[in-house]
Amino acid sequence: GRAFCAGYDLKEYSEGSPVGDASPNQGMPWDPTVDFHFMWANTQDFMSLWHSFKPTICKVHGFAVAGGSDIALRCDLVVMAEDAKIGYPPARVWGCPTTAMWTFRLGPERAKRMLLTGDLITGTEAAQMGLVLRAVPVDQLDATVLELARRMSSVPRNQLMMQKMVINQSIEASMAATQRLATFFDGVTRHSPEGMWFKARAEEVGFAQAVKER
């Protein structure tokens, strides 16, 4: 495909979709607990990569943006093509990264640089910033990830499991609380005055155009 993942398919939800149990769209007044329940389930699906006893390696080409960055940053190791792009554009309006991995990977200041702008950065920039493990030319991406996986596979599985559990445990307590807040705020961003404006704009001119204007 053209990209690792470009995020949730929000065209239908932003431009107007039926309200009901099968849709994240609610009638007004909005109930934040219903929204939280829906988004928390998605967050926990992403977290399965983190909780997996097997190490996970993410190989990114093209784009890993918005919800796609949530998936990528949940993995244990991320290797990007140098020209690939990663970021969370909905941080500008209509979103908050529910997995909340930016601070844990970058530290507060660099995380703010990303989430207070919503900018995309290249794989090269992401590696230099410390967001991902490594960036390589796209024609070397497959071989680089395969070699890393082969090197790790030479370690006994019980050793891999224990090392991953110990490292994860060092940040999981604060991570859980941060993710709850982020998931709640994600719903708030979509129902703030600016969030409601963005949805109305998407209904008027289409989601793609509204994103360009964001």
Instruction: Give the pLDDT confidence score for residue 11 in this predicted structure.
Output: 81
CB 114 within 8 A of CB 73: no
Measured distance CA(115)–CA(89) in Å, rounded? 8
Cβ 51 vs Cβ 30: under 8 Å:
no
With cut-offs at 50, 70 and 90, classify the pLDDT of residue 78: very high
Predicted confidence at residue 191, as pLDDT, reads 92
Report the b/e string of 175-185 with b at 16+ CB within 10 A.
Answer: beebbeebbbb
Euclidean distance between CA atoms 91 and 108, whole angstroms: 15
Confidence at residue 22, expressed as pLDDT on a 0 to 100 scale: 56
**Tens digits of per-residue pLDDT, 21-72?**
556 677 778 899 999 999 999 999 999 999 999 999 999 999 999 999 999 9
3-state secondary structure of 64: strand
Q: Residue 14: pLDDT above 70?
A: yes
Q: Please give the pLDDT value at position 100.
A: 96
Phi first, then psi, for residue 136 (nearest 5°) are -135, 160
pLDDT confidence of residue 23? 60
Please provide the average confidence, as pLDDT, over all residues in the chain.
Answer: 94
- DSSP-derived secondary structure letter, 75: S
* Cβ atoms of residues 42 and 98 within 8 Å: yes
Q: Which pLDDT band, with edges at 50, 70 and 90, does 92 fall under?
A: very high
Q: Residue 102's CB: how many other CB atoms inside 10 A?
A: 24
Residue 119's pLDDT is 98
In angstroms, rounded to a whole number, what is the distance separating the alpha carbons of residues 131 and 98?
17
Averaged pLDDT, 161-175: 95
pLDDT at 18 > cutoff 60: no
Express as a percent the part of the chain with pLDDT over 70: 96
Q: Are 57 and 148 in contact (CB under 8 A)?
A: yes
> For residue range 96-136, what is the model confidence (pLDDT) as tens digits?
999 999 999 999 999 999 999 999 999 999 999 999 999 99
